[in-house]
Structure 1
Amino acid sequence: MSERQNQYNIGLDKTPANYVPLSPLSFLARSAAVYPNHVSAVYEGRSFTWRETHERCKRFASWLGGKGIGVGDTVAAMLPNIPAMNEVHFAVPMTGAVLNALNIRLDAPSIAFQLDHGGARIILVDPEFSTVITDALAQMKGPKPFVVDVDDAAFKGGKRIGEIEYEAAVAQGDPDFAAIPPKDEWDAIALSYTSGTTGNPKGVVTHHRGAYLNAVSNILAGQLGQHPVYLWTLPMFHCNGWCFPWTIAAA
């Protein structure tokens, strides 16, 4: 027996006017458009607005695109909770690529495995972690990623091991870069790894839909309200900071 014709399947097809895949990239674009002058982040005497954060993300995304980064590529980050770590949660997926936020507490062999396994093509490194990343790069079996240094005003020491510093890359990018939205909500946005206590680290992939829904759920569960001031304590490498980089942009 054939199914009865469903009237709601007639003339109500998906179109760009009524449907787009869910993605947390929309949170940043909205906040920059609706609340451009509200503070987005404060760190070590530096303050950014949502307009500035949006532009910086587009600039870095543009620079990544110029380095050949695109859909399906992996960009790793060995960074503490600094503005750049927040920004790459948007800039990397703006290119269609996937962010691999590395656990800053792991040793070189574990990091080397993740860089090989995830296929990182670029890695952002805070000077604080230059030694462990140098060791990890030396232990990699596959192609080594291009290294971008991210100077941290709160850390004295370490050294630059990359070919360009983050602010220089941002300055070179196009502020009018058009973000590449996911074609499907199931497209990957982030790659994380377990700490590998029982063997090699295990990879976990987050998709755009999951990041979007979890970010919104955080607002409800935390009763954040509008324009919350959020003190970062959870490391952003930990499950993408429980999606809070995207949560705060949404709220």
Structure 2
Amino acid sequence: MANPFNTDLAPNPANFQPLTPLTFLDRAASVMPEQVAIIHGARRSTYREFYRRSRRLASALANRGMGRGDTVSVLLPNVPSMLEAHYGVPMCGAVLHAINTRLDAKTIAFQLDHAGARILIVDSEWLSLASEALDLTEVAPLLIVYNDPEQPDGGRDTSSGVDYESFLAQGNPDYAWLMPEDEWDAISISYTSGTTGNPKGVVSHHR
């Protein structure tokens, strides 16, 4: 006998919305747009600014053909661009792959290949490490370089790749970002340390 409580009650836009942390930033920017969201050295960014920059990133990535199932890798410390990537990357439907900055080039290269990275965003302080890793990969991701204004520029190689701020400038701050089609869609992939072999990928979903 069919359960009457399940009859004609399949999920639809009127009764169901996939769970995703992307709505956290959307709500914060709506409810408290002028509250400080990010403190990085002398820099202060509000939730409105954080949201708009994340949407710019999502838009710029989408303009490069990034979408559902594509991987954006980042080799970044705890800087504002890392926060923007955690929202901007999944806002265009792509999957975020955050790389541990303490890893060696060989391990990073394995992860980039295994994750199928199409774009790599790297802090210029780790650019030489990223370049060494890319020399070992089969994939050839677009290289985007973030220059942290809180760090001294002396001796840092900023000659390679696309400048992060220039890349962001190509995006639309009012970009209509994508909700996941299903809350079980992948939002990120992380890797084990690989102490007993190659690192193992661990996929997290929006829920």
Q: What TM-score range do you get, normalising by the shorter chain?
A: over 0.9
Aligned to 2:135, what secondary structure does the other structure show? helix
Q: Is there any run of 5+ residues in structure 1 with no aligned partner, and where?
A: 210-251
For 1:30-179, what aligned pairs fall within 5 Å after superposition?
Answer: 30-140=27-137, 142-156=138-152, 157-160=155-158, 162-179=160-177
1:56-110 C-alpha deviation (Å, 9 max, x unpaired): 0111111001111111000000000000001100000001100000010000000
* Worse overlay, 117-126 or 150-159: 150-159
What is the aligned residue count? 205
The TM-score normalised by the length of structure 2 is 0.95
AA of the residue aligned to 2:194: G
1:129-172 C-alpha deviation (Å, 9 max, x unpaired): 111111100011x1211000000123334212543211111122
Among the aligned pairs, what percent are the same residue?
50
Kept after mapping to 2: 8 A contact 1:28/1:54: yes
The TM-score normalised by the length of structure 1 is 0.79
Kept after mapping to 1: 8 A contact 2:124/2:147: yes
Kept after mapping to 2: 8 A contact 1:149/1:161: no
Structure 2 counterpart of 1:194: 192
Cα 1:137–1:164, aligned 2, differ >3 Å: closer, same or farther?
A: same
For 1:180-219, what aligned pairs fall within 5 Å after superposition?
Answer: 180-209=178-207
Tell me by how many angstroms 1:54 deviates.
0.6
Q: Which has the higher strand share?
A: 2
AA of the residue aligned to 1:194: T
Q: Is there any run of 5+ residues in structure 2 with no aligned partner, and where?
A: none
| Superposed structure 1 runs of 4+ greater than 4 Å apart | none
Aligned to 1:139, what secondary structure does the other structure show? coil
Kept after mapping to 1: 8 A contact 2:112/2:139: no
Matching of residue 24 in structure 1 with residue 21 in structure 2: yes
Distance in 1 between the 2:16 and 2:160 partners?
41
Aligned to 2:100, what secondary structure does the other structure show? coil
Kept after mapping to 1: 8 A contact 2:106/2:136: yes
Distance in 2 between the 1:162 and 1:50 partners?
31
AA of the residue aligned to 1:200: N
Cα 1:159–1:62, aligned 2, differ >3 Å: closer, same or farther?
A: same
Structure 2 counterpart of 1:225: none
Tell me by how many angstroms 1:38 deviates.
0.9
Q: Which has the higher helix share?
A: 1
